Amino acid sequence: MAEITERIEIYDRFFKSFGYECPLPKHLKRTVNSGFPRYNLMVDAHFMSEMCAGILVAVTDYDHFYGRLTLDLAEKGEICKGMGQRALRTKEGEIVLRDEKEIVCVLCQGADEKTRVREDTRNVLFYAYAVPGINKSYLEDGLTIAAEIMSEFGKGSIEGVEIF
Q: Which helix (H) or strand (E) holds 89?
A: strand 87-89
SS3 4: helix
| Residue 152 φ then ψ, to 5° | -70, -50
Taking a C-beta distance cutoff of 8 angstroms, is the pair 86, 62 a contact?
Answer: no
Task: Tell me the CA end-to-end span of the chain in Å, nearest whole number.
Answer: 26
| Rounded-to-10 torsion of CA 14, 16, 18, 21 | 110
What distances in angstroms separate CA 64 from CA 5, 118, 137, 145, one per listed residue? 33, 11, 28, 23
Taking a C-beta distance cutoff of 8 angstroms, is the pair 105, 17 a contact?
Answer: no
Tens digit of each residue's pLDDT, the chain (164 residues) = 889 999 999 999 999 999 999 999 998 998 888 877 778 899 999 999 999 999 999 999 999 999 999 999 999 999 999 998 899 999 999 999 999 999 999 999 999 999 999 999 999 999 998 899 999 999 999 999 999 999 999 888 999 898 88
Q: What is the pTM of this model?
A: 0.89
Taking a C-beta distance cutoff of 8 angstroms, is the pair 55, 142 a contact?
Answer: yes
Q: Which residues lie closer than 8 Å to 82 by C-beta, 6 or more apart?
A: 88, 106, 109, 110, 111, 112, 113
Domain spans, the chain: 1-64+116-164, 66-114
Percent helix, strand and coil across the chain, each to the nearest 5: 40, 20, 40
